[in-house]
Amino acid sequence: MGRLLCLLLIFPVTTAWWSIALRPEMYLLGSQPLCSQLPGLSPGQHKLCHLYQDHVAHIASGVRLGVSECQHQFRERRWNCSGLDDGSMFGRAMLIASREAAFAYAVASAGVTDAVSRACREGELATCGCSRAGRPRDLQRDWLWGGCGDNVAYGARFAREFVDAREHGRNRGGDERPPHRARALMNLHNNGAGRLAVTELAHAACKCHGVSGSCSLKTCWMQLAPFREVGDRLKQKYDQAAAVRLARRRRLEPMNQRFSPPTKMDLVYLETSPDYCMRNDTTGAVGTIGRQCERGSAGTGGCELMCCGRGYDSFRATSTERCHCKFHWCCYVKCKQCSRTYDRFVCK
């Protein structure tokens, strides 16, 4: 616990770069982002902010996309991507080099990649446009490769420069203490895994042309996968995340030497996760008291696991919804209001 308190003094949670997504009103003053007032940016990120001012709103949008996806993926877990009200996006749990931190860094990096890639296609950024990806080899010869695709190459490149700048800045600062060096390498690895999840899932999308929908001709372009698929991929990597440690050559290696080194697409972590069962102001855990659970389920959302063995309270709840809808000629739908009573279970 003493080490965690020390980290709180050195790296306050509010200095996380993704905190720029907290206050949308700070992005622009007229047409200029207030780079000097955006919280949590490293010197390198401040420089990029000034150089690429039209990117800032999309970086923030990407972070919010990542947070939203994190909340969806962990909605039935004890840690549900929320922290105490400390002015940060993911909370103080990020100070622990755990699986949860690995996922948060990866999904935030992925969100920025996705948002910037789409902004290029929409013509909202001065330094990029439609995708220039080469024609896929497996595309049929008579299909045209064109259209305006998502510029995932640019999005991934910019996200690498901006998101990784913070960790590279720490390294250049000369702090070679093993815990700091290991955490920087962990963050860089997971940032890259997030970007790879976006680029690997991008695919060719096609549209038919021809008389009466005959589809005698197709035009194809590069398209990003829905971000839900990226979240699913990263959640799978979270479940399979590799425990690592700092090796002598200043690189990460498996904690257990019998395991193969993690690939670039894997998530890695250095420390075991807390149980997140009870509120803890130091670690930022909000606890599971008051969380809704599913009685009888053996999964992570079941009352036994979610409530950490403390038991749960049950009560009857009522909701009102539209029902017995009928279409009337012409042209409206008339519905009745029905009440539905159901059981809710909440952790003690």
| Average pLDDT of adjacent 10-residue blocks, the chain of 348 residues | 44 62 58 70 90 92 93 93 63 87 96 97 95 85 85 97 87 60 94 98 86 75 96 97 88 89 96 91 85 92 94 90 87 89 92
Residue-wise DSSP of 175-204: ---HHHHHHHHHHHHHHHHHHHHHHHH-EE
Domain boundaries, the chain: 2-287, 295-348
- C-alpha torsion 26→29→30→32, nearest 10: -90
pLDDT of residue 29: 45
pLDDT of residue 6: 47
* Residues belonging to the chain: 348
Could you give the CA distance from residue 344 to residue 236 in angstroms, rounded to a whole number? 29
Give Cα separations from 63 to 26, 39, 235 (angstroms).
15, 14, 17
Asked whether 107 and 127 are in contact (CB, 8 A), the reply is no
3-state secondary structure string, 102-149? HHHHHHHHHHHHHHHHHHHHCCCCCCCCCCCCCCCCCCCCCCEECCCC
Q: How many CB atoms lie within 10 A of CB 130?
A: 17
Element (H, E) at 339: strand 332-347
Beta strands across the sheet bearing 292-293: 292-293, 332-347, 312-328
Backbone angles phi, psi at 329, to 5 degrees: -80, 135
Asked whether 203 and 226 are in contact (CB, 8 A), the reply is no
pLDDT of residue 122: 94
Structure token pair of residue 221? 């372009």
Radius of gyration (Cα) for the chain, nearest Å?
24
CA 5 to chain CA centroid, nearest Å = 26
Could you give the CA distance from residue 128 to residue 252 in angstroms, rounded to a whole number? 34
163-200 burial, b if ≥16 CB within 10 A, otherwise e?
Answer: bbbbbeebeeeeeeeeebbbbbbbbbbbbbbbbbbbbe
- Strands in 20-68 per DSSP E: none
Q: Is the peptide bond before 307 cis (omega within 30 degrees of 0)?
A: no
Any idea what DSSP says for residue 222? Answer: E
pLDDT of residue 102: 96
Backbone angles phi, psi at 243, to 5 degrees: -80, 130
> What global pTM score does this model have?
0.86
Please state which CATH number belongs to domain 295-348: 3.30.2460.20
Any idea what DSSP says for residue 261? Answer: P
Q: Which of 263, 283, 265, 267 is nearest to 275 (CA)?
A: 283
Asked whether 111 and 66 are in contact (CB, 8 A), the reply is yes
pLDDT of residue 146: 81
Structure token pair of residue 333? 């739908």
Range list of H helices, 122-177:
152-172
Amino acid at 212: S
pLDDT of residue 123: 95
pLDDT of residue 242: 95
pLDDT of residue 4: 47
